A = this chain, B = another copy of it.
Amino acid sequence: MGRALAQPRGGEQVVALPPLPEFRKLVAANRILAHEGVVDAFGHVSVRDPRDSARFVLSRSRSPALVELADLMEFTQDGAAVDARGRTPYGERMIHAAIYAVRPDVVSVVHHHAYGVLPFTISDEPLRPVVHTASVIGAEIPVWDIRTKFGGTDMLVRSLEQGRDLAATLAGHTCLLIRGHGAVVAGASIERAVLTAIYLEVNAKVLLEALPLGVPEALSAEEIAKSSEAQFSPLALDRSWEYFCQRAGVDPG
């Protein structure tokens, strides 16, 4: 035990990635997702490397609540660490690797097990946007089941092949549910991915409460499209990013 905490050992500090705005924002994203209860001990968030779009940056294996700049590691799109220096990467980094490889529009990826979303990963009830702040999750959220192609596994997305299969199900969507496991959110920026993950959870909780009251009225396709745009306008995005940063006690950058 204690290995995670003490890494790296030796009194010698790892030379971290340069403190680019995107990397500082990635640390903020980790803290925000933890503070809002989207991630717990598990879950992770990455960003496409602004210096090399064929690479991405993700923390070493550490709970998002604790991630610091020095924890960030760079990976290739095969999920190989560029300069590990003895740090242990997340077992499921292939989720990120595979999505960045096929989705040039994606700049940030969140993987999480938010408790409000989980019920939808084990039921046939579709998770659809019912409130305008959650329009950004998109009109349709596909469900990926690792069992379909890979049989009885430990449920983790460990290989690039598994990551690619997941990314193929995600296709052009923003969110994806993983049966009995969690969700993936892909965004055109860190802020977008984080806010989408937060309001995916809000929408899930509202929907869980609404379902016993009768068939809920959903947003129309047109409303989803137009509202997404409004929610990602600077007016709404800046305001909510400032708010979530303040709650998590991090610098909005």
Q: At the interface, yes or no: A103 with Cβ under 8 Å from chain B?
A: no
Q: How far is the CB of A194 from chain B (nearest CB, A)?
A: 11
Q: Do residues A213 and B123 form an inter-chain contact, with CB atoms below 8 A?
A: yes
With known contacts A3-B238, A240-B63, A217–B179 Cβ distance under 8 A: yes
Copy tally for this chain in the complex stands at: 4
- Spot the interface stretch: A12-20, A75-83, A203-211: A203-211
Q: Do B154 and A123 have beta carbons less than 8 Å apart?
A: no
- Please tell me the number of chain A residues within 8 Å of chain B, measured between CB atoms: 79
The verdict on A125 contacting chain B, using a C-beta distance below 8 Å, is: yes
With A123-B216, A132-B155, A180-B219 as contacts: A62 and B230 at CB distance below 8 Å: no
Across the two chains, which residue of chain B brings its CB closest to A210? Answer: B119
User: What is the interface of chain A, defined by CB distance below 8 A to chain B?
Assistant: 1-5, 40-42, 61-63, 65-66, 88, 91, 113, 115-116, 118-125, 130-133, 135, 147, 151-156, 179-182, 191, 202, 205-206, 208-214, 216-220, 222-223, 226-227, 229-230, 234-244, 246-247, 252-253
